[in-house]
Every structure is written in structure tokens, then in C-alpha cells.
Chain A
Amino acid sequence: MTDAVLEIRGLNVDYGLGDDAVHAIRDVDLTLHRGEVLGLAGESGSGKSTLAYGLTRLLPPPGVITGGEVLYHPDGGDPVDVLRMDHATLRKFRWAETAIVFQGAMNSLNPVHRISTQLTDVIKAHDPRSTSASRLARARELLHLVGISADRLDSYPHQLSGGMRQRVMIGMALALEPKVVIMDEPTTALDVVVQRQILRQLVELRERLGFSVVFITHDLSLLVEFSDRIAIMYGGRIVEEAASADLYRDPLHPYSHGLLNSFPALRGPKRELTGIPGSPPDLRAMPAGCAFHPRCPHAMERCGVEVPVLGVPGDRPGPADRTVACWLHPVQDNGL
């Protein structure tokens, strides 16, 4: 396993203050390794986008980070805690080290500015001494990187198709060669054919430029194909984390199992599918114990009382990089 580039430890995010606060993220531990694609899957309201905004400190109010740390390991330097950076450091850190491609990225371009202006703007902000010619050359290079011809530089966003706008956004995120790229549902609004083109390109770019990706989506079947590891979130917690292949072959948490069984297969025999009964939990009134227990087919008495701990399952000896939070697979004792 390669070394870590981003380490999240015990992150807690609330919306609102005091007794009315909704706990959107609870005690999340997550490690992103150098050069890997980490998939983050979950339903709407599971906290996956909040996690992405929390670790970049982009949470809009009333979002508040109430605890934890986000350690960023720069190349050959000492780790820094993103949550404790002062304003000026944070400003330098953002985009140069960690870039984010937003949900609905198709609409996050400014409609009244040309692509070239928007691409060069960020370079100018981070390197005010660069010349406009060099910035333009870099913008041209970025468009080339994502497979758009350079004559599109003078276009306005509405003159580009959805897929091209998405590529521009990805190119823009790569402008300062960040080490970490966070993609929040980057292809949800796109058609499958375009989606595949863009993801294939992203995988190529990652191999060439060597950045790490946090890929957030609700489409687990997509993640299984494109990511190295997958973390599954439910009700603000990570319930399972494993290598994609392991998760697909042998999901341990009943929720992961249910999610995998919610996608009709295109090949192979036709199976009767059930999905998961019930509806996602209301964050304002979370069930006690394991958040999934009201919908879980294997729920035991203990599930409604105690919150299961995320850890290496005792009944699955093997590589220690797989964790699950479920009483069906209690965590290994430390002594063993």
C-alpha cells in the first residue's frame, strides 16, 4: 500500500447549533492514499457531499465542523491539519493542493465569461506574477488535456455541450496540478456514453499526472468499475470500506449488500431484485444504535441499542485494509 496523502480522523459535521443541530457526519475516519481513486457511495442525505465540503472547509453555514482533523501530507513534508490552517494558508492550499469538481458541474461555469477567462483566472489568483501569455498557454494545454480543441477557448459555456462543460470543469480543477481531486457526482447529469468517455479520460489523466481522486456518487456499479477502494456511507457514518473487488464479491454490511442488489444487471441471468425496504433515515431523528437497523433484514436486539464500531471484521481474517461497522461482523479483538 502506498502512503497516505489525506487522512481524515474523527470528523464531525453538524448543521445548526445547540440542541437543534443535525449531525450530518459522525466520527468519520478515512484515508486517501497516493494515486488511488477512492469511491464514496451512499444515498442522498448520507453525508457524502458534506464530507467533501467539510474536508476542504467549504461548508456553507449553518454547517459547522465540530471535531476531528484532516491531515494533508505534502510531498516529503510534514503533515498539516487543514482544519487548523489560517485564512491565508488555506487560500494557498485550496486548488493548488486539493481541487474540487462540484455536483452539477455543468452549471458551475459562469455563463457570462469565456472559457479562457475562467481557466486563466485561477492561475492568476495563485500566481499573480505569471504573464497573460503563459496563462493562456496553460489554459490551452488544459483543454488539450481533457480532449477539447483549443479553439474552444473563446467559447461561452452555453456554446458547449454538457459533456464538454464537464471536461472544462475537470481541466480547471487540474490547473494547478493538485495532489487531490474531489469529484462530487461529476457525471450524474450526463448520459452513459459521455459519462464513460469522461471517466476513461479521468483514469488516463490520473495515471499520467498521479493525483488521487475522491469520487462521490450514488451509483455503486460505476464505482466498482472505476475506483480502487470504496467507502459506503449511511446516516452520516462510514459503514463499510474495502477494495472495490472485495466489496463487490463479498459485501459484509447488509446495507452494502442491499445497494449492490439494487442495480439490475445488464448481463448474466435475470434475477429478481428487491432493493432495500423502507426509506433512508431522517437525520433530524436518527434511530438509536445502528442507523440502518430499521431497514436491516438481519437486525438483532443489540443493533437498536449500541452503535457498531467501524473496524476490521473478526470473521474475515485477511488484509487489514477492509473495515465494516456491523454487529454481524464484530470487530477483531486487539489482542489477537
Chain B
Amino acid sequence: MTTGTAPSASGTTEVVLEADGLTKHFPVRKRGRELLSRTTRAVRAVEDVTLRLHRGRVTALVGESGSGKSTVARLLAQLYPQTSGQIRLRGEPVDAKGGRRFRAYSKRVQMIFQDPFASLNPVHTVRYHLTRALKIHGNAGKTSQELEEALADLLTRVQLTPPERYVDKFPHELSGGQRQRVAIARALGADPEVLLADEPVSMLDVSIRLGVLNLLRDLKERLHLAILYITHDIASARYFADETYVMYAGRVVEGGESETVTQRPAHPYTQLLIDSAPDPDRPAAQEKDGGTGEPPSLIDPPAGCRFNPRCPHAMKVCAEKVPPRFAIGDGDGHFAACWLYGDDLSGADKVKLREEVS
């Protein structure tokens, strides 16, 4: 009944980074009467997330703001400690709380942030940013000539050529796309195996987004990086990612090959998300009156499936039990955490539940 993400036929099956039952609760500051009580409320930002990143493949994590997708990236980068669950890098459990262990870990797992206007220091040149990354992770070489070569190599890799023209520029002299390329080059300076890209193009102008995405794909192919691509734009996940996971309110609700997930979405939330995406090709008549409501509070999320208050197909079981991942069976490892696909469980019971709540 429950399935993991089966390795796919098209890519390599080598798992680089995996998360198992990853959970993160942020405690909420107590106020007023709560100060006297023992219980601490928490924002349940990420709950029981299991995913795998493969060598040479892009895995997309799609969700609305507040769905916990960035928290997953930060947990994977070990910027926060997880509340529970395990992260494994090449099978080894990761515990990199600060210090030397964190640095060793970050050499292998690098992160790219959303806003290149904020992630580069405005008072330092491109050279400074890249040199620092190279030196910290021991890739700067021994002589200044080797360092120069490494710098030029990094800039060439992110297609900022000729390197001499860019290496001594300050961030304000570069456009948004160029800045994001510098941020990518800085991440590559560590020579990582995994790249965690948190909305890498959402702050960029539309016309240059594709350039950056194509660059990341090119890097994936040449350097065999495992890339986690976090986005709210499911169309770009289809274009760019091999596999797609969809998150809603802190849980992964669907996953599988990007093409399968976007063309035959199984979970009602994914269907809503795809119906809502702007699409010029959509015939006007096809407009469905689908989406109502908004994502729930994560301090006190709905019991059972967190989508049940908005779901057009909600059944009684949805409000009681958290749905496990059910295999859909129409593609490699396509699964949905939705009771609609749990028919093999207990047929008679389920029909009854369906009737009680329409």
C-alpha cells in the first residue's frame, strides 16, 4: 500500500541525498495564559517528508508559500536541526550541527537562495565571493595562479564569459540574472554533489529565467549534480525537473515523474494547482469553478488529510486518518497521499464513509 519513490528507468538510480520522515516543528512563543500551561504550541511546518535526490537528476518540490518547501531545503542543508526523521547522504546518517562537521557537510551539499540581490554582499566583488568559497572548501589550489584558474573556470561554467570582465565587478554592476549566476558559481566553488536551489529564478525577470534554468540543467548533465529545485511554478517543474513532489501544508501529497504528475495529477490538490496555473491555451469554456478556501493554519492543522476542508472529494476517513502514500500505478513511482486511491484497503467501509460526507 505504501510505496517509496521507486527509482526510475530513465535516470541513474544512485541516491545521493535522502530524507526519511523529516519533520520540523517551530515552537510558538507563549503569550498570556499559555505561560502558565505546560503545553507548547508549535507551527508544524514540515511533517513526515520522505524524498530522494538522485545523481544527475533534478527533483522539483512544488507548493504554495507556507507549504514548507523552503523549510525542507533548509533542513536538508542542515541550517536547522530537524525535530525528527533522518537525513542520509550516500547512506550515511547526517548530523552536522555546526562546526567542522557542518563545514564538511556543506562542502558536499550546497544551497542557492531565492534573492540574488540579498545573497551577495554588496561591498565585495565577485572575486571575493568566489575566492572565499574556494578557500573554505579547499579548492583554491596552492598558488595564486591556480586560484585565478579556478576562478576563471567557475565563471566559465556559469557562462559569465569572458571571466575577466566579471571577476572584479561588484554585485550592483551586474543584472539579476548575472548575480544569480555568481551565486550558482559560488555554490559550485565547493564542488558539491547536491545543489539545493530554493526558488532560484522567481526573483528574476521572465525573459532571463529560462537562461538560468537551462544553465542549471546543463550543470546537472555535465557535473552529474543532484539538484533539488524548489518552486511554486508547476509549469517550470514540468519543463526542468525529472521528478516532481507536490507539497501542501507541510506534507508531500503527490510525487512521481514530472510529466506524469503534471499531465495526470492524481491528488485533488495537484489538480487544483494545475487548474489554477495561468494557461493561455486553456479554452475559456474549460474554466472550472474549482478553488475555494485557503491553506490551513499550521499551528492547528486539520486532522487527517490537511487538504480535506478544501477537497471536493472529501470523505469521512479524510478527516480522521492521515492518508499514506498510495501507488497510482500509471508511471514510475507515481504516488499520491490521498484516500481516493486507497480502494484496496477496506472496500465496504470506504463506500460507507463516502456516503456520510459528500
Residues of A bordering B, CB below 8 Å: 43-44, 161, 163, 191-197, 200, 218-222, 224-225, 248, 258-259, 262-268, 270, 273-277, 279-280
Contact = CB atoms under 8 A, between A and B. Distances in A.
Contact of B175 (A221, A276, A279): A279
B317 to A, nearest CB: 24
B279 A266 contact: yes
Given A225-B279, A280-B207, 19 more contacts: A192-B273, A192-B278, A196-B291, A197-B291, A200-B287, A219-B278, A221-B279, A225-B282, A262-B209, A262-B210, A263-B235, A264-B210, A264-B235, A264-B238, A265-B239, A265-B279, A267-B279, A275-B209, A279-B208
A279 B291 contact: no
Contacts, number: 105
B292 interface: yes
A220 B206 contact: yes
A194 B177 CA distance: 28
B285 interface: no
A191 B279 contact: no
A264 B277 contact: no
Interface in B96-154: none
Given A197-B292, A265-B235, A276 B278 contact: no
A43 B238 contact: no
B343 to A, nearest CB: 28
B211 interface: yes
Given A192-B277, A193-B272, A225-B278, A276 B234 contact: no
A279 B178 contact: yes
A191 to B, nearest CB: 4
Contacts of B236: 264
Contacts of B209: 262, 275
Contact of A192 (B64, B175, B177, B211): B64
10 contacts: A193-B272, A264-B238, A264-B240, A267-B282, A270-B259, A273-B210, A275-B210, A279-B175, A279-B176, A279-B177
A161 B279 contact: no
A266 B234 contact: yes
B306 interface: no
B55 interface: no
A219 to B, nearest CB: 6
A105 to B, nearest CB: 16
B280 A219 contact: no
Contacts of B206: 43, 218-220, 259, 262-263
Interface in B47-98: 64-65
B205 interface: yes
Nearest to B259: A270
Interface string B225-258: 0000000111110111000000000000000000
B2 interface: no
B274 A266 contact: yes
Contacts of A224: 278, 280
A191 B66 CA distance: 10
A273 B281 contact: no
Contacts of B240: 264
Contacts of A221: 278-280
Given A192-B273, A266-B277, A270-B259, A275 B235 contact: no
Interface size class of B (residues with CB under 8 A): 35 or more
A248 B207 contact: no
User: Main secondary structure on chain B at its contact with chain A?
Assistant: helix
Contacts of A264: 210, 235-236, 238-240
B205, B206, B281, B294: residue with the most chain A Cβ atoms closer than 10 Å: B206
B205 A44 contact: yes
A193 B67 CA distance: 13
A145 B64 CA distance: 26
B234 A196 contact: no
Contacts of B211: 274-275, 277
Nearest to B210: A275
B177, B210, B262: residue with the most chain A Cβ atoms closer than 10 Å: B210
A193 B276 contact: yes
B205 A266 contact: no
B64 A276 contact: no
B234 A193 contact: no
B156 interface: no
B12 interface: no
A196 B205 contact: no
Contacts of A270: 238-239, 259
B3 interface: no
A263 B208 CA distance: 11
A266 B238 contact: yes
A248 B238 CA distance: 21
B282 A276 contact: no
A192, A258, A263, A265: residue with the most chain B Cβ atoms closer than 10 Å: A192
Contacts of A267: 263, 279, 281-282
Q: Which 7 A-B pairs have the closest CB atoms?
A: A275-B210, A264-B239, A224-B280, A279-B175, A276-B207, A191-B64, A222-B278
B205 A280 contact: yes
A290 to B, nearest CB: 16
Contacts of B210: 262, 264, 273-275
Contacts of B208: 275-276, 279-280
